[in-house]
Amino acid sequence: MKKPFLNEDFLLQTETAQQLYHEYAKQMPIIDYHSHQIPDQIAQDRQFETITQIWLYGDHYKWRAMRTNGVPERFITGDASDWEKFEKWAETVPQTVRNPLYHWTHLELQRYFGITELLNKESARRIFDECNAKLQTSEYSVQNLLRRMNVEVVCTTDDPADSLEHHRAIAASGFEVRVLPTFRADKAMSPEDPAAYNQYLDKLGEAAAVDIRSFFDLQTALRLRHDYFAALGCRLSDHGLEQIYAAEYTESEINDIFAKVRGGEELAANEILQFKSAMLVLLAEMDWEKGWTQQYHLGALRNNNSRMLRQLGPDTGWDSIGDFPQGRALSQFLNRLDGQDKLAKTILYNLNPADNELIATMVGNFNDGSVAGKVQFGSGWWFLDQKDGMEKQINALSNMGLLSRFVGMLTDSRSFLSYPRHEYFRRILCNLIGTDVENGELPDDMDLLGTIVKNICYGNAKEYFGFDAVAEPALEAAATRS
């Protein structure tokens, strides 16, 4: 018998899977510990005028699909109207079958707007008008969208030079969803373009009230900003890297390299590698000192289309999975920190599925019993945050480590309509475990398995990140350092 598309038991292929999802996973709050949500939109409690604005602006997943479907750029990032862009997306949706976008699109229409009609060229106008009408009501403001999806914590991604003024405003407003910054210092360790790097250092120095002339000054500025982020509840850092950097260096070499680039000189390839390696260690030690969790997103090959990079800029849909060697440098980096007893809680996100088992076994090398799941194999991300990618990540983690200690899913998204991705993950998780029960590979013990599911969906993250232990943001103290 054929199952209806996207019904209540979507992706749940067994009775056990259905029980695990509906009785244990479904009601768990969401801790979105890594996202790219825009904090000023939360602070302003923005209401979007059209579904296009909240759904298509900035979503390079959809942009790539539209381009592949032959949609001209004018209807993607160009000057076409919101209706014209939505219409082109609606025409594209039927062509995305077996792409996660097909599932996500219809999940989001159902969960937020109660629309069960399939999106296509014929239904586009009706759905556009219905969504837009609902978006005009207070129920669909950004803060109410977060409430609707039972979101408890949102961690944004922020540069050390950011003022965090919107985080201060959110905290002062009494909004019950905690919106916390994440310290992402990639620009501070990227000296490849001396002119751009020096411009950034000037901006960072202004934010920290430090005249950055030496490498010591850079460290001082970063520590001051790290303290400022902590005062506003920050508990995590993040890096987006091709691979970990772990070259040998001395303090005098790094001082000389910094002086060279601060003077506007180009660095040699080995000098860039040494500088990045030193910065990674410095930032990791700062995280350890505060008890933060450090995150490393590894393996993206970015900006492959130079023509479109010049036309549209970065993060517009021209990136792919890279095949960078990961193992040795990652081992050296983690071992250096562990050897000095300065290894913070760590999450490693892998973009190349060929490296799943590598990452899953690497984390086990540095789980020392001090914290449950101290070093984590992070959820499938970017090109892997779909059914096959999630299943592979879960299976590798299960085979090589402890799935029961996994901190679960995140959105990694700029869209306030992306929270059904947590539901998608939870259904996939419950289906895998439920199938094992039905096959006799796991006991039919709902107390055990239901507790594990609830922990992966919520409890592990809540305990691991220690959000409850974070004091209310020291607004006055932080304001004096902003």
CATH class of 150-481: alpha beta
Residue of 178, 200, 177 whose CA lies nearest to 187:
200
Element (H, E) at 376: strand 375-377
d(CA 381, CA 151): 20
pLDDT of residue 469: 60
d(CA 104, CA 110): 10
Pairing of strands 293-298, 236-241: parallel
CA distances from 397 to 58, 275, 407 (A): 32, 32, 12
Q: Give one word for 145, left, alpha or beta, with left for phi > 0 and alpha for psi -120 to 50.
A: alpha
* Contact (Cβ atoms closer than 8 angstroms) between residue 455 and residue 25: no
Q: Which residues contact 49 (CB under 8 A, 6 or more apart)?
A: 82, 132, 135, 136
d(CA 260, CA 266): 8
Sheet holding 236-241, edge to edge: 236-241, 293-298, 345-350, 375-377
pLDDT of residue 470: 52
Per domain, the residue ranges of the chain are 47-140, 150-481
Residue of 136, 140, 165 whose CA lies nearest to 38:
165
- Report CA Rg, the chain: 23
CATH code: domain 47-140 is: 1.10.2020.10
Which residue shows structure tokens 């018998």? 1
Give the type of residue at 216. Answer: F
SS3 123: coil
Q: Angle at which helices 446-454 and 420-438 pack, to 10 degrees? A: 160
Residue of 151, 123, 152 whose CA lies nearest to 51:
123
Q: Which residues contact 468 (CB under 8 A, 6 or more apart)?
A: 462
Burial class of residue 380 (count of CB atoms within 10 Å of its CB; 0-12, 13-18, 19+): buried
Pairing of strands 30-32, 178-180: unpaired
Do 47-140 and 150-481 come out as alike in CATH topology?
no
Torsion of CA 156, 137, 135, 313, to 10 degrees: -40
Element (H, E) at 463: helix 460-465
pLDDT of residue 474: 46
Residue 375 φ/ψ, nearest 5 degrees = -110, 120
Residue of 419, 314, 303, 397 whose CA lies nearest to 350:
397
Model confidence, pTM: 0.96
Q: Angle at which helices 387-400 and 420-438 pack, to 10 degrees? A: 50
Q: What is the pLDDT along the chain (482 residues), one digit of tens a residue?
A: 788 999 999 999 999 999 999 999 999 999 999 999 999 999 999 999 999 999 999 899 999 999 999 999 999 999 999 999 999 999 999 999 999 999 999 999 999 999 999 999 999 999 999 999 999 999 999 999 999 999 999 999 999 999 999 999 999 999 999 999 999 999 999 999 999 999 999 999 999 999 999 999 999 999 999 999 999 999 999 999 999 999 999 999 999 999 999 999 999 999 999 999 999 999 999 999 999 999 999 999 999 999 999 999 998 999 999 999 999 999 999 999 999 999 999 999 999 999 999 999 999 999 999 999 999 999 999 999 999 999 999 999 999 999 999 999 999 998 999 999 999 999 999 999 999 999 999 999 999 999 999 999 999 999 999 987 654 544 444 544 55
pLDDT of residue 471: 47
Residue of 442, 339, 308, 327 whose CA lies nearest to 20:
442
For 464-481, letters b (16+ CB in 10 Å) and e give bbebeebeebbeeebeee
d(CA 102, CA 119): 9
* Contact (Cβ atoms closer than 8 angstroms) between residue 39 and residue 233: no
d(CA 167, CA 229): 10
Element (H, E) at 309: helix 306-312
